[in-house]
Structure 1
């Protein structure tokens, strides 16, 4: 297997395991919470943050552990990966995300694909997604420059926090958003609400890149 194929496998596998965790922990959290949404959210956030830490630590050296088209877009804008590799990354992230949802459903004996029914729309939700994505990308960009060894913990900690301080529960990832449109579980989103989330995430990306530049995190110089 060549280097690019290894990277694509790592991105697809990592994104699949991330979504299996997001959806599966939501199902398990609801089952154990006995109607207490706070307990279900805590289980969902904790499992997702823990899995992110593991995945970034073990797969980061192979692919960079993006697992997120927003991160891939920023890396392409900065010239750290080429346009063709970025397109391939986004493709396997989307496929991996959908595979992760199917895997979670199979583990809990649910219909494998279910059009989402959970309403997530409106200005507060879109603002939350913009803020969540902005904070995630700023964490990645500044963390990679100043605290690279701590990046897995920084990203995991940010996502855990953002589950709680945003009304959208911090999707912050277009592939995650699309895939969660195919589950009716605690983690789901209506398919008609996906576009609003993705547009808000795009705005968060633009803001993060601008603020990172202002803080001195500039694009690498061509060699």
Structure 2
């Protein structure tokens, strides 16, 4: 995923480069998904989309790649929560946490869930594996929350909204989730949304790294700590 890297006129063109489709300066906070890169007149361009109706091709220098931190780089729940609440790469995480009123985020649970090795918790509810249906364009299909969230066919807000409907259909409404939080449940969450762990100076694609033991293991669970 990428973000807008300029506040000046920076146009998104159609594939033939004969029509300006959008101006990036009007999308300063948008998350962009890159589907391919190509060279035109000795310049590198990206085919980009916001997951919705805004799409086209743009010069690579007008956007910059998102970089996520690995979970083992955090030292406390508050440290991790601050990152979730402020980092650009965590827009989808923030949208998902809004589905759980009074959510208590646990770094330890997030780390264990992302590795599929939850040992310190009980009554585990894996929200990421809740099944349901999602509509993308004119097609409605069966899926699970995890798979739908990892797709690029919707904006972050739309992804979270659909995930919320899928959860509610299985009984995990906002009221239900809030009730579980009041009973001592905690949230484990890790969503990289296709971001990289490091980026070199020369940019996409050769110097972007996705190396991490948890990089592609999305976690979205709630559970209660085991009693000592």
Scaled by the length of structure 2, the TM-score of the pair is: 0.24
TM-score, normalization: structure 1? Answer: 0.25
* Bigger strand share: 2
Bigger CA radius of gyration = 2
Query: Which of the two has greater helix per residue?
Result: 1
